[in-house]
Amino acid sequence: MRRLTILGATGSIGQNTIDLIRREPGAYEVVALTGGANIARLAEDARALGAAVAVTAYDDRLQDLRAALAGSGIEAAAGAEAIIEAARRPADWIMSAIVGSAGLAPGLAALEQGTTLALANKESLVCAGALVLETARRHGARILPVDSEHSAVFQAMAGEEITAVERIVITASGGAFRDWPLQRLARASVAEASNHPNWDMGQRITIDSASMFNKALEVIETREFFGVLPEQIEVLVHPESLIHALVGFNDGALMAHVGAPDMRHAIGYALHWPARRALPVPRLDLAAVGQMTFRAPDETRYPALRLARAVMQMGGLAGAAFNAAKERGLDGFIAGRIGFLDMACVVERVLDRFAAQGGHANAAMTLDNVLQTDHLARIWADEAMAEKAG
């Protein structure tokens, strides 16, 4: 039996992962499930899957979790340290599906046991790509991409040399506001931004799709994961979300990955890799689809893409500053403190300050330095938001 752990089990990716493993009764031994405030969901899944331990991120929810697990024999734990400890428990496959830079330290702990890490948490590659890859290399761990575009690239590249790759094209649906007039965006509400046309995902990544910050993170993720140059990465707006990515080779061939927008494909591919197994995802009827459309992204509408290029130019810890400022700006938008377009202004302000203090950018990429940059960028983002509000 394969031993398996899911970090972020109660979220959208976590639940899709659980959906897949519940279809193969007896195939997996579940070591740990971690979650946040949704104690009922966490406890119910831990019981159904017979997990050894369930962990909530919140210390003050430990009593609730214990109560929900009473009589099951499942261990309960709480707090950030307990999540890292859960990631250290021996497992053959670990899903990294915590949202935000909070997923970095648990992901590194998982890699340190030399396991296979299915990586949905793109933020860890954006914040600390070199550190994540070096940790995997040092401990003989394997990282399999779960982000749909990166899984698509990984599949399109299978059996090819990376030196034969000329360019990587990742597609973007354009999010909730792709057809809105630019003037209307400033007043876009949280509810409007939380409604994705094609994908059913967690709220944060859905809003990031509307602002294209998700695609900005993914461009950096592509650079880090596949080791290509920034100028080899293109973003293509493709409203139907049926082609997830394309890889262009040096002979001019363009290999596309086509499939229904269902995250269980990328999750299942990482779960069964290197085998391909039957998955319960919808099959595409291209005749019924009829046509697919494409357009170039408009960088005035989506400043996030321009900022991602600046981050790759800066290198080092700039990704950590970028991601933290983005996370904080998103918190501010969700809380109603700033408008939709202000998020990019806040991130740009933080990046400017970061660039002005060249020293940070050149600091070594250790977990401590990444977390320090993350912390500082959040303070700067708060200052930028206070100015906006004032």
Annotated binding-site residue numbers for 1-deoxy-D-xylulose 5-phosphate: 122, 148-149, 173, 196, 209, 214-215, 218
d(CA 375, CA 317): 12
Does the footprint of ligand NAD cover residue 8 (CB under 6 A)? Answer: yes
Residue stretches of the annotated binding site for Mn(2+): 147, 149, 218
Binding site for NADPH: residue ranges?
Answer: 10-13, 36, 38, 121, 123, 202
**CA distances, 371 to each of 363, 365, 368, 388 (Å):** 12, 10, 5, 26
The interface partner of residue 35, options being Mg ion, ligand NAD, none and the CB cut-off 5 to 8 Å by kind, is ligand NAD
The footprint of Mg ion on this chain (CB under 5 A) covers a number of residues equal to 3
Query: 120 φ, ψ to 5°?
Result: -90, -30
Strands 142-145 and 243-249: unpaired
List CB contacts of 59: < 8 A, sequence separation 6 or more.
78, 79
221 binds Mg ion (CB under 5 A): no
Q: Which is nearer to ligand NAD, 57 or 111 (CB)?
A: 57
Query: 102 contacts which partner out of Mg ion, ligand NAD, none, CB within 5 to 8 A by kind?
Result: ligand NAD
What span, in angstroms and rounded, lies between the C-alpha atoms of 341 and 344?
6
Residue ranges of the annotated binding site are 10-13, 36, 38, 121-123, 147-149, 173, 196, 202, 209, 214-215, 218
- Which amino acid belongs to residue 302? Y
One character per residue 16-55, x = contact with ligand NAD (rule: CB under 6 A): -------------------xx-------------------
- In angstroms, the CA 266 to CA 155 distance is 10
Applying CB under 6 A, does 151 fall inside the site for ligand NAD?
A: no
Please give the span between the terminal C-alpha atoms of the chain, in angstroms, as a whole number. Answer: 58
What is the residue type of 312? M
User: Which amino acid would we find at residue 229?
Assistant: L
Per CB under 6 A, does 102 bind ligand NAD? yes
Which contiguous run of DSSP H or E holds residue 262?
A: none
**Tokens of residue 384, six digits:** 């930028």
- Is 241 a binder of ligand NAD (CB under 6 A)? no
- Span of 5-13, 64-72, 351-359, 382-390 interacting with ligand NAD by CB under 6 A: 5-13
Residue 123, binding choice from ligand NAD, Mg ion, none, Cβ under 5 to 8 Å by partner class: ligand NAD
- Indicate whether 175 belongs to the interface with ligand NAD (CB under 6 A): no
> Cα(3)–Cα(39) distance, rounded to whole angstroms?
23
Rounded distance, CA 218 to CA 216, Å?
Answer: 5
Distance between CA atoms of 96 and 87, rounded to whole angstroms? Answer: 9
Neighbour order of strands in the sheet with 233-237 = 233-237, 165-172, 243-249, 254-258
CB of 42 to ligand NAD, least distance (A): 8
DSSP letter at 24 equals S
31, 110, 152, 201: residue in contact with ligand NAD (rule CB under 6 A): 201
Among 2, 79, 198, 202, binds ligand NAD (CB under 6 A): 202
SS3 category, 158: coil
Residue 11 near ligand NAD by CB under 6 A: yes
Query: Per CB under 6 A, does 382 bind ligand NAD?
Result: no
Is the Cβ–Cβ distance between 105 and 127 less than 8 Å? no
Which residues lie below 8 Å from residue 254, measured CB to CB, with a gap of 6+? 169, 246, 247, 248
Residue nearest to ligand NAD (CB): 11
Question: Considering the rule CB under 6 A, would residue 120 count as an interface residue with ligand NAD?
Answer: yes
CA 128 vs CA 57, 104, 185, 315, 317: distances in Å: 22, 8, 32, 10, 7
Beta carbon of residue 233, minimum distance to ligand NAD (angstroms, whole number) = 17
320 lies in the binding site for ligand NAD (CB under 6 A): no
Contact between 123 and Mg ion per CB under 5 A: no
Residues binding ligand NAD: number (CB under 6 A): 27
> Which residues, numbered 133-162, are part of the site for Mg ion (CB under 5 A)?
147-149
Q: Report in angstroms how near the CB of residue 209 gets to ligand NAD at its nearest.
A: 9
* 64: contact with ligand NAD by CB under 6 A: no
- Residues forming contacts to ligand NAD in the complex (CB under 6 A) are 8-14, 35-36, 57, 83, 97-99, 102, 120-123, 147-148, 199, 201-202, 204-205, 263
- Residues forming contacts to Mg ion in the complex (CB under 5 A) are 147-149
